[in-house]
Amino acid sequence: MQLFGSSAMPLFKYRRLHYTRRKHVKALPATGLATSMHDELTRLVESVPQNGNRKAFETEMQSFLSLFTRYLAEKVSKEELDWDKVMAPAENQIVPYDNITSSVDPMSLQKLAVLKVNGGLGTSMGMTGAKSALEVKNGMTFLDLTVKQIEHLNTTHNLDVPLILMTSFNTHEDTLRIIKKYVDQSVNITTFNQSRYPRIVKESLLPCPKTASDENPAWYPPGHGDLYNALVHSGVLDQLLADGKEYLFVSNSDNLGAVVDQRILEHMIYSRAEFLMEVTEKTKADIKGGTLINYDGSTRLLEVAQVPAEHLDDFKSVRKFKIFNTNNLWIDLKALKRVMDRGGMDLDIIVNPKVTEKGETVIQLETAAGAAIKHFKNAHGINVPRSRFLPVKSCSDLLLIKSDIYAIENGELLISPERMFATTPVIQLGDHFKKIQQFQKRFKDIPTIIDLDHLTVTGDVYFGRDVTLRGTVVVIANEGQTIHIPDGCVLENRLLMGNLNVIEL
């Protein structure tokens, strides 16, 4: 079902805006830009019919205006991160997973709700619908696996752990259609839509849309940091509290490693932490991931977009910052209610530049959900095993998930006991495999890779049926060449070139 907030504050009827209360926003250019934005947003609100859910849209635009005026204020003040204050986290700011309690009470799960951030389209993989509808294993989608996990939890312990899906305007209708098939399963599913903010023309700093009904390219979902406002405005937060839920486990829908962990829930209850962030050890693939830092004695999330250019190498180094944020978050709902009732959170703004299909340069003001850590008491990180971070961001990731490396048990992906190593192979597929349609066309079926260490494929390559890859395998088709790996082929520690030369590695 979908829940909507019922009490939108009519803030746009006032000509003077809240940004005038901020002492550091006194520069005339910034004030003028804020006034111009206010006027444009007012026109957007007035373009919604009175019976067309205008109040909800008005509330959304007020939240956007608050974000925009804060962005202007930061531009005027030119406040930058003081890199000398950026320190690696202290020992008490990140707790090793092995150090948390192994004693669990299944009834604690009755206080839990699970939320999946489900707003992505998977455009980088050539998808047009909700990414969570992609089949990833044994004909099952991301959502199928999640529902299977929650259903198993509920039936095993006779519980009612609800599943909540935060969609975007890009995925909402698609998601509502998909979840109809779960109606007979032991999972109560709630959906709500995150905010829809107007893209900003970079040159004028005015909104792209001219009316509220302008087509989707004029709008954007403002990142997963919008979670907290959206929970409040939709009414979902109050409903969860009314249902006796006290804790919320949040993760991205494409992270197949993000399953409910009772040990982490028990640790949260025992330690009275109001917010937990799961972090894990960096690899070369994770150097751009946000990390927890000690900043003036407080625990903060630092994203790569916030790092001054001259300190990027320091940020990416594993010597100082050894962990990164998985975006698996555990939140105390009563504490969240308290924080939001006291005025909400000023999350760090991430400026995301984009170029539209028409060639217009725009910016999107976004926030990260993990940045909320600084607003909660006793908040800290949990250094979890890498297995809890298993996102599918590319077709290379998809090949790994679809392979015999992983088995499914009650919706959870587990490394096959036949795999000799605890680590998974490194897979790098070239641009010819970038889109899902190309990926599906180039594999007659998924190769056997249980004994694979590394696979690199470049160029126009096709795989036959029953192919086996072992050790290190490199396949390179030069420009103008095509390689067809025949049915039943076994490649072990081999380099295969475009002229079909096979070299032992």
Please state the three-class secondary structure of 381-408 as a single string. EEECCHHHCCECCCHHHHHHHHCCCEEE
180 is catalytic: no
181 labeled binding residue: no
Q: What is the DSSP string of 169-190?
A: TTTHHHHHHHHGGGTTSS--EE
Burial call 223-249: b when 16+ CB within 10 Å, e when fewer: bbbbbbbbbbbbbbbebbeeeebbbbb
Take residue 43 and report the two structure tokens written for it. Answer: 């026109």
Chain mean pLDDT for the chain: 89
Enumerate the domain spans of the chain: 11-77, 83-388, 395-504
Within 155-274, strands assigned E span: 163-167, 189-193, 197-198, 200-201, 219-220, 247-252
pTM: 0.91
Helix count (H) and strand count (E) of the chain?
Answer: 11, 27
Q: What is the pLDDT of residues 304-317, one digit of tens each?
A: 888 888 888 888 88
Identify the weakest region by mean pLDDT among 204-213, 253-262, 289-298.
Answer: 289-298
- Looking at domain 395-504, what is its CATH homologous superfamily? Hexapeptide repeat proteins (2.160.10.10)
Q: What is the pLDDT of residues 426-442, one digit of tens each?
A: 999 999 999 999 999 99
Q: What is the pLDDT of residues 155-165, one digit of tens each?
A: 999 999 999 99
Binned at pLDDT 50, 70 and 90, residue 264 comes out as very high
Q: What is the pLDDT of residues 210-250, one digit of tens each?
A: 999 998 899 999 999 999 999 999 999 999 999 999 999 99
> Residues near 429 by Cβ (< 8 Å), separated by ≥ 6?
394, 395, 396, 399, 439, 455, 457
Q: For position 297, what pLDDT does the model report?
A: 84
- Looking at domain 83-388, what is its CATH homologous superfamily? Spore Coat Polysaccharide Biosynthesis Protein SpsA; Chain A (3.90.550.10)
Tell how strand 189-193 and strand 163-167 pair up.
parallel
Closest CA to 334 of 251, 242, 261, 252: 242
Say which of 393, 434, 435, 444 is annotated catalytic: 393
d(CA 106, CA 109): 6
Provide the 8-state DSSP code for 422: S
Cβ–Cβ < 8 Å for 381, 94: yes
393 labeled binding residue: yes
Binned at pLDDT 50, 70 and 90, residue 32 comes out as confident
**Amino acid (1-letter code) at residue 151:** E
Burial (CB < 10 A; 0-12, 13-18, 19+), residue 408, is middle
131 labeled binding residue: yes
Half-sphere exposure of 177 (CA within 13 A, CB side): 8
Binned at pLDDT 50, 70 and 90, residue 8 comes out as very low
HEC profile for 85-101? HEECCCHHHEEEHHHCC
d(CA 36, CA 184): 51
254 labeled binding residue: yes
Give me the residues paired with residue 197 across strands.
Answer: 220
Provide the 8-state DSSP code for 205: -
Residue 4 has pLDDT above 70, yes or no: no
Chain center to CA of 346: 19
Take residue 132 and report the two structure tokens written for it. Answer: 């969570």
3-state class of 5 per DSSP? coil
Cβ–Cβ < 8 Å for 494, 503: yes
Closest CA to 253 of 313, 155, 164: 164
